[in-house]
Every structure is written in C-alpha cells, then in structure tokens.
A and B are shown apart, each in its own frame.
Chain A
Amino acid sequence: MNAKNFPEIVADICANPYEQLKRYKAAGKNIAGYTCSYVPEELLDAFGYIPYRLLGRAQNIRQADRYLQTYCCSQIRSLLEDFINDEYIGIDAVIFAHTCDSMQSFHDIFKRNNPDIFVKNVNFPTSINNDIAFRYALAELKNFAAALEEHTGKTLDRDALVESISVYNLNRGLLDKLYALHRSYPKEIPGVTLHHTVVASMISDKRDINGILESYLGTFDENEPEDDKRKRLMLIGSINISEDIYLLADEFGAMIADDDLCTGRRYFAQQVTEPTIEGVARRYFSRPHCAAKHRGLYSREHYLTGLAGKCGIDGAIFLYLKFCDPHSFDYPDLRKGLEAKGIPSQLIEIEQSLAPSGQIRTKLQAFLEILE
C-alpha cells in the first residue's frame, strides 16, 4: 500500500464496511461488534478480538419496525435492520455500553432476539466526575474482563493489554495529528478524509491502519502550510456516517476544522496514560464526554467553546440525528454558550436511514453566507 493513496484506501474501507468484516473473517479473526465509544476496545483487542464499530447503514427500514417504534433514532433502527438483513454475519460478540435510554432498550431487545450471539453490556456509570463513580466504573470494567475470560476461556494477559493500549494510543495520537494537519493543508487533506480515517479506524485492526496513516502523515512534515483563508466550521452531535457535510463544506470553500462527534474527536481524544484497566477507565473520566454522561452543568459548553477557540472556529454546525434526546436537550444552552463567545451556529437534523436531502446543502450555504 502506498501512503499517497491513503485517502482512497480509507474511503474504500468506509464505503464497504461489510467487505472489511468479511476480509477479517476470511483471515480467521474473531470480531467483536460494539455500539459505542464507551466500550473499552483495548480489552477486546487484548483478548484477540478485532473491535468493529456497528454503525448501521440500512436505508430502507422495514423489518426493524417489528421491534422498535419509529420514534427511535435511525442509528439504532438501521443497525437492527442490518442485523436482520444478515449484514453482520460472522460477528462473534456484540458489546454495548450504557449511554442513552434508546441504546439501553436496544440492548435488551437485541439480546432477547439473538440468543446465539455473545451479548454483553459494559454498565458504565452516567456520572463521570467523582471518585465513587470511578470506583464503580473500574469494578464494571473488571466485571467485563471477567465475562470475556469466561466466554473465551482465556485469561487476560497483562502484556497483551499493554500492547493493545500502546496500539490504541498510537492510533489516537495519529488521528489527532491528522486533524491538526488538515487545518494546515485543507486542500491536500480534505475534511472527508478525517471522517473516512476515523470510521476506518473504528472498523479495522488498528495495526493495519496505524502504519499507513503514520507514513501518510509523514509526507507532510516538510511541506509549507497552505495559505488558506477558509471559514472554519466545527461539527457537534452524535453519530454521522454521511460524508455529505464534509464534501459540501469543501464545495462552498469552507472546512470542517474539528468536531465533537462520536464518529470524530470524541472517539480518539485523550490517551490512556497508564497501561492497565485502571488507565483505560481513567481515560473515560477525562476525555470529552457524550451528552448522555454527566460531568457537571457546564462541562460540555466549556469544552466546546475551548475547542472552538483553540481551532479558530468561525461557526458551529449542530449535526443532530433525529430522536437523539441527549444531544437535543443540550442544544439551546450550547447554542447560547457559543453565541456568547461570538460563534454563530446552525442546527441541521439528519436521519441516518434516509438519503441526505437538499436541506443540508441549503442550510449550510445560507449559514456560510451569514459568516461572510
């Protein structure tokens, strides 16, 4: 593989997630599908699984409607539809983590209806701001490791965990560097490559991605930054599997300079600073958190205004999945908080199960006109 072709390689993985799964299965690997970035991938990796993020791609949801009402978010309904359509054949385990009400119910429904798959939930606390919650989180991660030991018949190998953590930390560092380089070279590293690289990382053995990503990033070391005066946008939301917003931003001469997405920076932010289960748990208490977690009344606002300031953001896009309650609750106050720092914003609601409509184009175009 040639590092120069990196954008095409990750674009291809991203466009064909089921093929990636089949490739690993054909190579005799064990795959653990997971639904949330609060699932400790390092533990799965240390037990020999390839953690594979289940993002749901189904466009026409029919069969999932037998299990879930239509006022459930399209991320979950698409995911279920994909399972019913046998898109995830070969998955050896499905791992959930506690976040929102909808995912919580989905776990129960999925587990009841898939008795042959190893289904486990990491019952992570909602509070992530105190020692009592940390002790509980740690106990829960140890319970999870014990469940994996019981299921696989293997014992958690400390050296394997150290190696997994090191591989994951490298991936996180490289993704962070990619984001930074994108801001300097928005033409050479288009925004959509950030999206592709994060999603490809989520569904690949990190070892496969890290080498080529590192080589790709190395090609920029000697280059002069592009003299680019693009408007800098930041995305805020939960899951986004569509590349449209990135392509449209480019088309309109703007750039997605950073984000606070499950499928973006929230996935890779912060390193595990101690190569143990404690270290893995600690990272969740310090990394930027999902709207379904609690770290105080203003933690997300302070984090987002800080990130916006650091990246020189001109405007924020709230890219929200319809029926994603935790993020919807935060919207009016976050909008006000950003406004108070001089950062205007635009809300765009998306449905994962529907092809992107013209509204994204219209709203983004109108918003960029305001920023001019």
Chain B
Amino acid sequence: MPKIDSNKKLRNLMKKYYVKAKLGAKYWPFTKTCWITSGGPVEILIAMGITPIYPENHGAMIGAVKMGVELSGEAEKLGYSQDLCSYFRCDVGQAVTQKSPVGGLPRPDFLLCCNNICGTVLKWYEVQARYYDVPLVFLDTPYNYDGLNDDIVNYVKEQFESIIPEIEKITGRRLNEKKTKQVAQYANEGIKLWNEILSTCENVPAPMTCFDAFFYLAPIVTLRGTKHVVEYYKGLKKELEALIAQGKGAVENETYRLVWDNLPIWYKMRRLSKTLASYGACLVGDTYTNAWADNDINPDDPFGTMARAYASVYLNRNVDAKIENFTSLIKKYKADGFLIHSNRSCKPYSFGQFDIKDEVSRRTGLPGLIIEADMCDTRAYSDEQIETRLQAFIETLKERKEAS
C-alpha cells in the first residue's frame, strides 16, 4: 500500500493511549481503569471518564511481535491447556510476567465482560478477576439462535440499567446523561466513518487491503465514542479517497479480489500480505473488521439501541446469518474468491465454517479455501503447507479468469 500519513498518526494515537493508560493507572490516583472485551459497551466507560483497556487488542500486538508462544507458555505452566484461546493464554502470561510490546497492561480496577463475541471471554475474565481480586461486571447477551427477539433485547436493556449503578459504585463516578448522548453521537459517527473506510475497497483497485484494515481497526474498538476516533478516521478516509482519485491500488496489478473470514493470523500478516500481493491478490473485505461497522446507536435512546446493537453483533448471530453476511460482503466487494481462517483459538467463529464455505460457494459460484491456523500461537501454523495451498488456490482463480 502507498505510504499515507494516517499510518504514523495511528501509531501515535495508540502509543498515546497506552502511555496515558499505563502512567495514569500507576501515578494518578484518580484514574479508574477497566479491562473490557472487544464486544463490550465501551461508550459507558468513555462517558464516565474511565480508561478502557482491551486485552484482546493487546493480544493482537503480542501475536504480531511473535511473543505468543512465550507468553502462552507461562499460562500453560500454571495449568491452562494449550487448547484454550491464545489471547487468553497471552493475557495470563503478560499478567504474570509483565512482558509484552508495551510492558504489560495496567492493573484493572474492575473488568467489564460482554459475552456477545464468545463464552470464552467470560471464563477468561473470571480468571483475571480472581487473579487481580477485582469486581467483574458481566453483560449477558444471549446468542441469536433464531434471530434477535424482544426478550433478548429487554434482558440486555435491563442489564444496562443494573450494571451502570454497579460501575458507579465501584468507581465513585456518575454517568451523566448529556455526556452519554455526546459519546453515543461520537460512537455513531466513528462507526459510520469506519464503514465508509472499509467500503473504499469496493473500488477497483482497492486503496488498501484487509491487512491494512486490521491495523486501522484499533481505534474503533478501543476508543469508540471519542472525538479522537472521529478525527482520525476523517483523515484516513480522505487519504484513501485521494488514493482512489489517483488510481493507486494497495496491490500492484490487482488481479484477484478476495474476502477473508475470521481473525487475522497476527504473526503472519507481513508474510501472507507479501505472498498474496506476489500473485496480484488483494484482500478487499473481511467479516472481522466489518463487525464494528454496522452498529447503530441512537443518542436519544442510547441504552435501548445499544441493547439491540450489542445483542446482535456478527459473532452473536447464527450460522445462517453469517452465510448471508459473508455472501453480501463477497458481492459488495466484487470478489473472485474467499479465504477462511479456521482459527483453533476461536471456536464460535470457526465451527460452522465448513457449512459456510459450501453454502457461500453455492450462492456465489466462487471458490473458497480454508486455512488451519491460530491467531497468536505460531505452533499451529505451517508456512510450507499454507503457501502450497494458497498457490494451488490462486491457480484455480487464474484458470477461472482465463476461462471467463
């Protein structure tokens, strides 16, 4: 991808975020720090001036710098199975050793867990709440087996009404209605901008790849509801639109457009990106970054709309809904095929992928490839095997292109 200012700006934004969070927790007694799951309602924390910390984002950083095996090993020494989520194992490892690209996470005052992305996060947060001896606030968002219904929405909304006083009691802070509305407004604006940014890849050639989107995702996850995110994404969008106007694509001679499913393989981002680019293949869309692109929060009814939004995030929808979503992404981005990461660390994201692959292929007439790996644990990855399979897959795409 051509160099743009937004890359440096993002590094600075995230650096500032971690430095402020770490220094605040250590030296500023009034700071309140909350660890929160990636599908959690961060808007409440932002509105209350509580610093949100995302162990999952931190896990991605650990994976990207290839510290996953070392930190997972620390958790395994304590008796945690190697079959458990590698983000969790890395988080236990960093808590015990204070090792990570940012020297470990700041100690939490409490944890806020929302199980709309998996049941794993609840078990993970139970473990860490016991380890740090801090309260765990839990938002239970039932899975949409038969779609979203009023009972689920009411249940989640009632819990919002109960967890806010709980957080107020833990932190001694009050949630202010005016501030909540403003945060909801920024959150909405950020989500819309993020959607527009991802949609720039509808352009042929795409101005960025999903490998870039995985990197640009951090603010909408961690700082959603702040002005910084809105400003940052406005700048990024402008730069991407400029690239489109100049006809510059992220991949030179973009030939094959692919859509990706599941989390990135953090420790292989560069290598996979180069390998795909060498074939003229561009990842133009993915289910993962899109999970933060379709929430709709109404500032006039923040908790009613948040209940609906948080209960129906992508991973909380059933396999049929995932098939619909994946198919529409493929159509939206005019893809030639799709790649599915079967991720040992993420069972709810991965089980059902065999059905998804068959049905999406049937509906779109496009080929797909399943790659077996893990988002952070390099032990579950084989360069040779995966690159051979990718090569064969690209051959298939080539034959299809030539035939058409």
Interface residues of A (CB under 8 A from B): 66-69, 71-72, 96, 98-102, 104-109, 112-113, 121, 123, 125-127, 130, 132-133, 135-136, 139-140, 143, 291-292, 294, 297-298, 322-323, 325-326, 328-333, 335, 347
Q: A100-B119, A125-B155, A325-B120 are in contact. Are A72 and B80 (CB under 8 A)?
A: no
Q: A69-B351, A105-B348, A136-B155 are in contact. Are A331 and B79 (CB under 8 A)?
A: yes
Does B118 count as interface, using CB distance less than 8 angstroms?
yes
Which 5 A-B residue pairings sit nearest by Cβ, starting from the closest?
A: A105-B351, A329-B123, A108-B319, A332-B79, A136-B155
Do B140 and A72 touch (CB < 8 A)? no
Does B136 count as interface, using CB distance less than 8 angstroms?
yes
Do B352 and A109 touch (CB < 8 A)? yes
Q: Using Cβ atoms and an 8 Å threshold, which residues of chain A touch B353?
A: 69
Task: List, sorted by A's number, 24 A–B pairs whose CB atoms are closer than 8 Å.
Answer: A69-B350, A98-B142, A98-B145, A101-B120, A102-B351, A104-B119, A104-B143, A105-B347, A108-B320, A108-B355, A113-B355, A126-B119, A127-B138, A135-B158, A291-B123, A294-B138, A294-B140, A322-B83, A326-B119, A328-B81, A331-B79, A331-B80, A332-B78, A332-B80
Q: Using Cβ atoms and an 8 Å threshold, which residues of chain B touch A102?
A: 347, 351
- The residue in chain B whose Cβ has the minimal distance to the Cβ of A102 is B347
User: Of the candidates B79, B155, B355, which one forms a contact with A109 in the assembled complex, judged by CB atoms under 8 Å apart?
Assistant: B355
Does B344 count as interface, using CB distance less than 8 angstroms?
yes
Does B57 count as interface, using CB distance less than 8 angstroms?
no
Do B162 and A132 touch (CB < 8 A)? yes
Minimum CB–CB distance from A329 to chain B (whole Å) comes to 4
The proximity string for B residues 366-404 relative to A, scoring 1 for CB distances below 8 Å and 0 otherwise, is 000000100000000000000000000000000000000
Those of B331-356 within 8 Å (CB) of chain A = 342, 344, 347-348, 350-355
By secondary structure, the A interface counts as: helix
Docked CA distance A126–B156 (Å): 12
Do B79 and A335 touch (CB < 8 A)? yes
Does B151 count as interface, using CB distance less than 8 angstroms?
yes
Do A66 and B354 touch (CB < 8 A)? yes
Do A69 and B138 touch (CB < 8 A)? no
Does B130 count as interface, using CB distance less than 8 angstroms?
yes
Do B119 and A101 touch (CB < 8 A)? yes
Q: Using Cβ atoms and an 8 Å threshold, which residues of chain B touch A101?
A: 118-120, 347-348, 351
Docked CA distance A169–B119 (Å): 31
Minimum CB–CB distance from A100 to chain B (whole Å) comes to 6
Does B159 count as interface, using CB distance less than 8 angstroms?
yes
Do B127 and A333 touch (CB < 8 A)? yes
Minimum CB–CB distance from A239 to chain B (whole Å) comes to 16
Q: Using Cβ atoms and an 8 Å threshold, which residues of chain A touch B276?
A: none
Q: A98-B142, A140-B151 are in contact. Are A72 and B351 (CB under 8 A)?
A: yes
Docked CA distance A292–B348 (Å): 14
Q: Using Cβ atoms and an 8 Å threshold, which residues of chain A touch B122?
A: 126, 294
